[in-house]
Each structure stands twice: as structure tokens, then as C-alpha cells.
């Protein structure tokens, strides 16, 4: 079945769901083939008015109407939501795509049933502006066609990359899931220092933002590694070299490593806590 004829259901109509829906529609998916359930009437009205999709307050209606279900509710209510639709999911043999952080396939299978085809995803907040990076993992019940479908949904808001082992999603969380905040921290520090160096706030902010965008664009469009790119723009004895040496002397790489390991470890802890609840 072609991607643009698939009926896609979203349980939860928050920011990430609405971004995915906007991306799907922008890539040619018909709004009338998309269903969304949400308990909040204002959320439903906004989705209906802005995106012309089908809306309801019934999760069961969404499952009945669609071929694939995207679970886009908060992790703490997912057990209750999943249990409420489990029988219908089993009956329809629908694909379930979960974007709930920290909820393992083991938990999802326990709530939805052993035979459920589940793709677990770790998207990040730049998906809200269609430049997301998402890690995906499929359980053994997911067919090749269903993998393509899940990938297409997440690709509507950026890049989507498969990992072979579900545990690698903890690393994805540490790198891209939490990663935007690391860049914001660097931008924050650069902006603050730019003001100390005498630039006004607006000039400092725009220079930092455009520099971050430009560096990312060069890295994306180049076949060279970040190390090669860094060396290319670092003239011997120049201003850049002086700054880079200062970063290195301050233990920059070791600090980044420590931070990402800490984020990965916290992701594992949070998944374990969710399992017990």
C-alpha cells in the first residue's frame, strides 16, 4: 500500500504530534486520512481548523479508523492509554509507533499484547521546525512494509535512522534527544561573552545563531569529518587556533564525553523507573 493512502492515527495531539501531522501533509499526505484523539477540546479544535484532520476524544475511534497508530501521549499515562486500546490493536493487527520517551518495547508489549508490531522512536525537539533527528527500533513483529511506513512518518519532520539494538536508543537520547540543549548552552555562553566583548545583545545573538546554522550547514553538505572541517578553518597561529587551544586545554572533549555518558545513564535509569511503575 502506498504511503500516501495509509490511514494514520495519532493518540495525543500535542506539539510533537501536530508537527508530525504538518510534515505529513506538507509531504503530500491527505488530511482526511489522518485521525487524532485528544482529551483537550481546544487542541482538537485547533487541529481540525488548522490542519483539516479528523478529530475525536475517543482513542478507540482512532484505532478503528486507521492502519497505524502513533502513541504521542506523555509517558506517565501511556500504560492506561495502551491498555484501553489493546484489544482493538490485537484485533486489527495494527502497527504501533511510540514516541514516548523512556518507555521500552517490553512495557509496550506487556500493555498492548505479545503479537503487537511496535516501532519505538526517539525524536527531538527540532522536529517542531521540521529539522528533527529520530532514532527508531522495530520489534520482530514489524514487517518490512511497516518499517517503511514508520520511517516515512518520522522522516516527515527530519531524518530518521534505525538502530539494531533497542538499548542504543539510550545513546540516541544522549546525542540527539538531549543534544539541542547542548548547542543552546554553547550559544548562550558565546552570546554572553560577545556582550562582554562590547557587542549589543541583538548583534551578539544574531551572529551566534547564524554562525551555528552556517557551521551545521557546512558539516551537513560536506563529505569531510568535523575534525577535518575544524582544521580547514583553523589557520596556524591565528585567532581560531588560539581559541581552539584554549578549549582543548580546558578539557572540552572530556567534558562532552562525561556529559553524554551522564545523559545516557540517566536515560537507562528513567526507563528502569518506568518499567517498575
pLDDT (tens digit per residue) in 229-275? 999 999 999 999 999 999 999 999 999 999 999 999 999 998 888 77
So what's the pLDDT on residue 3? 62
Nearest in space to 29 (alpha carbons), one of 6, 60, 59, 63? 6
Q: What is the pLDDT of residue 162?
A: 98
Within 10 angstroms of residue 163's Cβ, the number of other Cβ atoms is 17
pTM over cut 0.85 = yes
For the chain, residues with pLDDT lower than 70 are 1-4, 277
pLDDT for 4:
63
Full set of structural domains in the chain with CATH: 3-169 (3.40.50.720), 177-270 (1.10.3730.10)
Amino acid at each position: 500500500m502506498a504511503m500516501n493512502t495509509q490511514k494514520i492515527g495519532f493518540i495525543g495531539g500535542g506539539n510533537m504530534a501536530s508537527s508530525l501531522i504538518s510534515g505529513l501533509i506538507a509531504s503530500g499526505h491527505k488530511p482526511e486520512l489522518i485521525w487524532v484523539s485528544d482529551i483537550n477540546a481546544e487542541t482538537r479544535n485547533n487541529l481540525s481548523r488548522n490542519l483539516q484532520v479528523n478529530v475525536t476524544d475517543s482513542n478507540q475511534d482512532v484505532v478503528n479508523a486507521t492502519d497505524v497508530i502513533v502513541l504521542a501521549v506523555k509517558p506517565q499515562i501511556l500504560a492506561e492509554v495502551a491498555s484501553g486500546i489493546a484489544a482493538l490493536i490485537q484485533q486489527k493487527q495494527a502497527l504501533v509507533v511510540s514516541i514516548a520517551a523512556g518507555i521500552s518495547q517490553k512495557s509496550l508489549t506487556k500493555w498492548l499484547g505479545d503479537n503487537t508490531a511496535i516501532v519505538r522512536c526517539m525524536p527531538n525537539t527540532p522536529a517542531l521546525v521540521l529539522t528533527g533527528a529520530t532514532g527508531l527500533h522495530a520489534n520482530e513483529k514489524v514487517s518490512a512494509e511497516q518499517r517503511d511506513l514508520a520511517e516515512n512518518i518520522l522522516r516527515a519532520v527530519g531524518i530518521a535512522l534505525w538502530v539494531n539494538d533497542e538499548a542504543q536508543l539510550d545513546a540516541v537520547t544522549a546525542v540527539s534527544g538531549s543534544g539541542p540543549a547542548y548547542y543552546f548552552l554553547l550559544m548562550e555562553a558565546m552570546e554572553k561573552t560577545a556582550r562582554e566583548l562590547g557587542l549589543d545583545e541583538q548583534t551578539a545573538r544574531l551572529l551566534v545563531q547564524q554562525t551555528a546554522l552556517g557551521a551545521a550547514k557546512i558539516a551537513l553538505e560536506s563529505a569531510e569529518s568535523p575534525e577535518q572541517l575544524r582544521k580547514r578553518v583553523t589557520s596556524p597561529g591565528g585567532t581560531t587556533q588560539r581559541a581552539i587551544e584554549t578549549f582543548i586545554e580546558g578539557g572540552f572533549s572530556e567534558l562532552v564525553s562525561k556529559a553524554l555518558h551522564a545523559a545516557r545513564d540517566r536515560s537507562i535509569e528513567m526507563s528502569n523507573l518506568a518499567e517498575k511503575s
